[in-house]
A and B are shown apart, each in its own frame.
Chain A
Amino acid sequence: MNRLIHAELVKARASRTVRVLAVLAPLTCMLWAGLGVALLGLEGRMPAEDRIRNVYAMAQQAYLFTLLLGILGTAGEFRHQTITWRFLVTPDRGRVVSAKLAAYGIVGLAVAAVSAAATVAAGALLLHLGGHPVTAPGVPAALLGAVLAVTGYGLLGVGLGALIRNQTAAVAVALIWFMYADYLLTMLLPGLGRWLPTGAARALAGMSMENAELLPAWAGGPLFAAYVLAAVLAARLTTLRRDVT
């Protein structure tokens, strides 16, 4: 198993796409943190401490990049038909996907940690320059939650990429689902929001979501993990059993 995980990491390191996404993730977080600081000056109902914590919670915005990394790392093998080589070397297809989960967990954790560090650096600097308090209660917990959630999205990407072998379709489904559909559903059915993957991830990251009462952070994590597990199990029962032609 270790050598399969190592092979995935060799592949991730050799790929230009992985490098680009890994660099874009912290940059995006810094932009969001900047936006959060800029909006601090506006009048709002939210207490100032919560709004400062939310600046650091922007570390969660790296989720899109780890999600894409997971999808491309799995569905990309089908797109380029390199999955044939992988299954020839490792005929046990479930092990190939397990190795991808482990590898993209590691890659996702690295991207998440760097993104969190970048968010802290940009957020603290901009808060200080803006004359705001640089920290608030709950910031370390928000950062830790963001790192876990961003890593989790990488795992979810692997599951989705295994389930939806068409890379373009997998990316489209993921973007529509996690950027729009979950929010739309939450708006339409407020009681449902906390049970959706986005609600679970936001609970884990200690963020709020409009129109939705979120689960506590300790429950958001296992719920999100259940979504990952469901995607992987569904893939093992369907797409992974199909003929590779």
Chain B
Amino acid sequence: MSAITVTRLSKSFGAVRAVDDLSFTVGPGTITAFLGPNGAGKTTTLRMILGLVTPDSGSAAIGGGPYRDLVDPVAAVGAVLEAAAFHPGLTARAHLEILRTAAGLAPERVDHVLDQVDLTGAADRRAGGFSLGMRQRLALATALLGDPAVLILDEPANGLDPAGAHWLRGFLRAYALQGRTVLVSTHVLAEIQQIADHVIIISDGRAVFTGPLAPGSDLEELYLEATR
């Protein structure tokens, strides 16, 4: 059974067809790279999978059903969306504590995820003063609160320094090795090539390539060929 199933998904914003009859599946225990030019519909697709955007037609299933029907969403899916936002006046710990409480998770989860993303030292600082890289780490910590089986990440390496990007690669690889699923949208092909098993490339809202990423193949060449 696939972890994520997208079936004939379409969405228009006004006259712009953002996602157009898009179908794909993401297998469990894999890292799947979700690629495409700016405006290809990646973010809209991810938001439809997460129930934040309602599709015009088609459906997205995660763990067997629509996101909105999940009994325990945070244990099923963790998501880091583009430009993840925080209340600037709240500390990282307060932000996590609010969502931990809402999700009904154990209190120690907050310290655990802060430690997982190496943000323990900044836990009691206000998020308004965080660098982009720190915000990405806090967003990832939030996604990890429920110890989810599936991680959906939109441009997670954006703002990370080289050491941070290296750390994220190792983290995601270890995550997939535990049998969990990672779907990650990114523009940094050289980075994702090192860890991805599968590739989905979309352009103008349509899938232009889906398939495994063979070892030794050139992802950049594949991408440029597919989106030409």
Task: Tell me the A residues contacting B by CB distance below 8 Å.
Answer: 3-4, 6-7, 10-11, 14-17, 76, 80-82, 84-92, 241, 243-245
Contacts and interface: CB of A to CB of B under 8 A. Distances in A.
B38 interface: no
Q: How large is the interface on B (under 10, 10 to 19, 20 to 34, 35 or more residues)?
A: 35 or more
B68 interface: yes
Given A3-B104, A14-B94, A14-B98, A82 B87 contact: yes
Given A7-B99, A14-B94, A80-B88, A243 B47 contact: yes
B6 interface: no
Given A82-B86, A91-B68, A91-B70, A245 B101 contact: no
Contacts of A16: 89
Interface stretch (B50-58, B181-189, B208-216): B50-58
A39 B79 CA distance: 59
B74 interface: yes
Dominant SS at the A interface?
A: helix
A16 B86 CA distance: 15
B90 A15 contact: yes
A101 to B, nearest CB: 15
A88 B79 CA distance: 8
A243 B101 contact: no
A85 B99 contact: yes
B53 A7 contact: no
Nearest to B55: A243
27 contacts: A3-B101, A3-B102, A7-B102, A10-B97, A11-B90, A11-B94, A14-B90, A14-B97, A14-B98, A15-B87, A15-B90, A16-B89, A82-B85, A84-B81, A84-B84, A85-B142, A86-B99, A87-B52, A88-B73, A88-B74, A88-B77, A89-B99, A91-B67, A243-B53, A244-B52, A245-B47, A245-B53
Contacts of B68: 91-92
Contacts of B52: 84, 87-88, 243-245
B67 A243 contact: no
